[in-house]
Amino acid sequence: MRVKKGFKARRRRNRILKLAKGYRGRRKNCYKRANQAVERALDYASRDRAARKRNFRSLWIVRINAAARTVGLSYSRLIAGLAKNKIALDRKVLSEMAIVDPAGFAAVANIAKAA
């Protein structure tokens, strides 16, 4: 009598095919192709989670630098002044302040400038 792989193997295959839903061609319904595509997609996803953190940090720095220059400071002088005055605002918050509350950002920058 022929033995099929049964429930466990089917469940494993279906899990991969479910992840491949929406792919084009045989990548969505052929297990071997779907497995390759899903593996690659998961690799890209984990790589790009780290890249997203880098990209956002550089975006925040660009925004802070632009706002600091309107007050007459460079980015590095601003950050050094904040550190010297023990003002613990991270770059995300500083960039939000620069966009939403320019007056508040200018006040913080003037404190950093005085240092």
Task: Write the CATH number for 12.
Answer: 1.10.1900.20
Q: What is the pLDDT of residue 1?
A: 77
> What is the residue-averaged pLDDT of the chain?
94
The proportion of the chain whose per-residue pLDDT surpasses 90, expressed as a percent, equals: 90
Q: How many domains is the chain partitioned into structurally?
A: 1
Q: Which positions ≥6 away from 12 have C-beta within 8 Å?
A: none
Q: Which pLDDT tens digit goes with each residue over 56-79? A: 999 999 999 999 999 999 999 999
The two structure tokens encoding residue 69: 């220059």
Predicted pLDDT at 24: 96
Instruction: Give the CA dihedral 24, 30, 35, 36, nearest 10 degrees.
Output: -60
In a domain? residue 2? no
In a domain, 108, yes or no: yes
Whole domain around residue 26: which residue ranges?
Answer: 8-114
* Band of residue 95 on the pLDDT scale cut at 50, 70, 90: very high
